[in-house]
Amino acid sequence: MANHKSAKKRTRQSIKRNQVNKSLSSKIKNSINNFNNAILSKTASKKEDLYQRLSIVNSALSKAVKKGLIKKEFASRKLSSLSNQIKKI
């Protein structure tokens, strides 16, 4: 355990950042899984619904890029691949 005041503060900061990063990454994973499930299900293949889900994924990815959790290139590549899946339907 840290003995210095600055080391204790750094520990507190890293715990907070870990919680934020974990929640953002789970939000990304959940939104991508919801999008993929919507594509696989035959009932929710309406394009409006898929574009709305893509917007949710875009929002989650943009927030993660803003926080520095993922790189901008990863977010754009992921959005491109998901939008290509919509085009194939």
Checking if the pLDDT of 44 tops 60, the result is no
b/e per residue 36-66 (b: at least 16 CB within 10 A): eebbeeeeeeeeeebeebbeebbebbeebbe
Rounded CA gap, 60 and 49, in Å? Answer: 17
> Distance (Å, rounded) from C-alpha 60 to C-alpha 41?
22
More confident residue, 43 or 28: 28
Q: Integer distance in angstroms from the first to the last C-alpha of the chain?
A: 55
| Position 41 pLDDT exceeds 90 | no
Q: Which domains does the chain have, with CATH numbers?
A: 5-88 (1.20.58.110)
pLDDT band with cut points at 50, 70 and 90 for residue 89: confident
pLDDT tens digit sequence for 53-74: 999 999 999 999 999 999 999 9
**Alpha-carbon radius of gyration of the chain:** 18
